[in-house]
């Protein structure tokens, strides 16, 4: 419907630098950084440090630590779609709303925050010949402020719906709604 139309845009600029430096013939340091600016989320600085050690001719050990940043997509922040669903004689309206839509705001939506992450890796490579190698890697990644859709906030689920939420749905002539939020 025409109420679903939005016009949004974002500008972003980034600068990336990567440096490899041999501290010794068997030890290499890698450092990388990315500076970015988003017109709607400000600036972010991410980095990575990695070490690669060759303790013996057939062995390579590697490790790294880094952090990450992901701005919410324009669709996560602003996309709205509605659908009419017929169940017998009953026609219901359901929608997924952008966080700035009046229905989502009334139900508690707030502006999305960027997702941030931290990463750690550790690995080893064994290469006894030029035709055979085996590797093992482990990693841990923590993601913060993960963006996920809410479940449907719907009038048919009256037992779990607060009177305030039910009133908001009724005022907006909506039987069910969802929106994106920093939920995890």
Q: So what's the pLDDT on residue 161?
A: 72
User: Predicted confidence band at 27 (pLDDT cuts at 50, 70, 90)?
Assistant: very high
Q: So what's the pLDDT on residue 29?
A: 98
Residue written as token pair 């949004």? 8
Q: Does residue 155 surpass a pLDDT of 80? A: no
User: Predicted confidence band at 164 (pLDDT cuts at 50, 70, 90)?
Assistant: confident
Tell me the average pLDDT of the chain.
Answer: 91
User: Predicted confidence band at 156 (pLDDT cuts at 50, 70, 90)?
Assistant: low
Q: What is the pTM of this model?
A: 0.78
- 125 forms beta bridges with 60, 135
Nearest alpha-carbon partner for 32 in 14, 22, 46, 44? 46
Average pLDDT over residues 100-112: 89
Q: 26 — phi, psi (to 5°)?
A: -105, 5
Question: Tokens for 54?
Answer: 């060759």
- 3-state class of 156 per DSSP? helix
Rounded to the nearest 10 degrees, how much is the dihedral formed by the CA atoms of 167, 161, 76, 102? Answer: 10
């Amino acid at each position: 419907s025409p109420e679903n139309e939005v016009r949004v845009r974002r500008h972003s600029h980034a600068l990336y630098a990567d440096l490899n430096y041999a501290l010794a013939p068997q030890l290499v340091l890698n450092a990388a950084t990315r500076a970015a600016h988003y017109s709607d989320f400000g600036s972010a600085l991410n980095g990575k440090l990695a070490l690669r050690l060759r303790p013996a001719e057939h062995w390579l050990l590697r490790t790294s630590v880094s952090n990450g940043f992901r701005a919410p997509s324009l669709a996560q922040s602003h996309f709205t779609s509605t659908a009419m669903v017929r169940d017998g004689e009953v026609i219901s309206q359901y929608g997924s709303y952008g966080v700035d839509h009046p229905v989502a705001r009334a139900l508690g939506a707030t502006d999305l925050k960027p997702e941030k992450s931290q990463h750690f890796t550790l690995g080893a490579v064994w290469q006894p010949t030029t035709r055979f190698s085996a590797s093992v890697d482990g990693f841990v990644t923590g993601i913060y402020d993960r963006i996920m859709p809410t479940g449907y906030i719907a009038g048919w689920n009256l037992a779990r719906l607060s009177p305030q939420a039910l009133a908001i749905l009724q005022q907006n002539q909506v039987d069910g709604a969802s929106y994106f939020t920093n939920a995890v």
